[in-house]
Amino acid sequence: MKTTKTLIALALISSLVACGGSDNNNSTQGSGSSSAALAKFTTMTSVTNSCGEATRPAFDVVFHKLDGAVNGTTKSDNQGKIDTDIPQGTQHISVIIPMKNNDGEKVTYVDTYLDVSNGLTLDRLSFYNSDDSCSCTYEAQVDISELKISAPDAILEGVNRRPIHIDVADDVLPMCSKDKLAYLSIKTPYFGGSKAAKFDLSSGAISVKESDFIHQGVKVDYSHIDEHSMGTVNIRGAIDNRSVFHQVSYRTKDNLYIYPSIADTNLLSLASFEENSFAEGNFKSFNTAYQHIDENGHLDQPQKISAYDVGYEFSNSFVNALVSSNSNVLSYDYTNAVPSADRVQYMIGFNDYKHGAVSWYINSEAKGTIPDLEFGDILTDETMDESSMYLSFNLYDYNHEGNYIDLINVFQRQTYEQLIDSGIYDGGASIRIEFELNSN
């Protein structure tokens, strides 16, 4: 049997003797010359914290040949922007972003885009710094004393993450929000139905009355969804780039509502989770299917991706890599499992004594080949903590025509409301599979 170390090496797609970029500001172009116009690489960084604030750190760039060999390096400007020609013979592009978290510890993002010989234009390279924390943008005291008298059986949603049963709640509730406007709803189980209201938090205090709830709820009909495979049902309204009126049902057919007179764009997502173990580690899958909800509360049947089929294709790719002992190339074709799949993103994580917590993302079409990517000799085997390594990948199947770069740009350029209205989620699905490899 192959050792865990061998499996980890394969999970990392190559021997990972490197993960870094140019140590100088000089661009190193590939060999050869041509009179034809060179393709362009244009983008900028955007690292967002939990407050929604973005920084734009500078980054290194590595251009790769078809086989993954380095074809040149360069750097962005100090504002995290780049607009440059791609060296002739380039097939793939990697960017390396060194940063520090709130504790001053090193973190490194590596973002690789496969098969971009015709150029790569991205609105931004987006990352989320989950270690950041922030205080409330808007803090408010929510007085529900009048609501307790007029609707004591009501359930209030939107003040915090959990529904609040009015009859046992305090008269005044604290609220923490990133947004000035609060969208609240009440359900009255005894009389049935639900209503919604909008409140301005800028004064720091609001008084909630039953008469404020003037937007009538429309019950969502998801009776046709198979309860056995349903998982968790999430209903969200969309206003511009914001999710509102989030309601959840856990494996039951609870009454869920939309409020078309205040949020006429609504989405249902169906989420499920599976976990399995194998000799070398653990396998987890997070499956989500989507459908747009019309103003009458109707929707088509969501269609999940088969975790078994996708997992089989991943395992089959590993087997092929194991058999090919003279190559670190990994070929895959997830269209065998999901014919209309749009995009794959691998994520490889590990701790490195020089670069801190490293997150390496590899982006491609659903069918492709990851070559033996090497970034130089900055990161050597001796600097890695092998026990920290893990691998995950995301597979996306949206209602979209175009390549995977087009899909990334669509999600970057449109608001949440625009995306739902465009129909891109209709019949769409995604699956995330995580592998935690045993260290022994």
Q: Does residue 21 contact residue 376 with C-beta atoms inside 8 Å?
A: yes
Give pLDDT, residue 104: 78
Tens digit of each residue's pLDDT (9 = 90 or more) over 263-311: 999 999 999 988 876 655 677 889 999 999 999 999 999 999 988 888 7
145 lies in a domain? no
407 lies in a domain? yes
115: left (phi over 0), alpha (psi -120 to 50) or beta: left
Q: H or E stretch including 410?
A: helix 404-413
Average pLDDT, the chain: 83
Is the pLDDT at 31 greater than 70? The verdict is no
Within 10 A of 205 (CB to CB), how many other CB atoms are there?
12
| Rounded Cα–Cα distance for residues 221 and 250 (Å) | 16
137 lies in a domain? no
113 lies in a domain? yes
**120 vs 390: which has the higher pLDDT:** 120
3-state secondary structure of 280: coil
- pLDDT (average), residues 204-230: 90
Number of domains in the chain: 1
**20 vs 147: which has the higher pLDDT:** 147
For residue 95, the one-letter residue type is V
Domain around 117:
4-132+304-412
- pLDDT (average), residues 253-269: 95
CA distances from 136 to 10, 48, 163, 198, 241 (A): 44, 16, 20, 19, 19
- pLDDT (average), residues 171-190: 92
166 lies in a domain? no
Tens digit of each residue's pLDDT (9 = 90 or more) over 42-79: 999 988 876 777 889 899 999 999 988 889 999 999 99
Q: Name, in order, each residue with C-beta under 8 angstroms of 135's C-beta and a sequence gap of 6 or more.
A: none
Give pLDDT, residue 384: 62
Give pLDDT, residue 121: 95
Least confident of 109-113, 231-235, 434-438: 434-438
**180 vs 379: which has the higher pLDDT:** 180
Tens digit of each residue's pLDDT (9 = 90 or more) over 164-179: 999 999 999 999 998 9
Percent of the chain with pLDDT over 70: 81
41 lies in a domain? yes
391 lies in a domain? yes
185 lies in a domain? no
3-state secondary structure of 309: helix
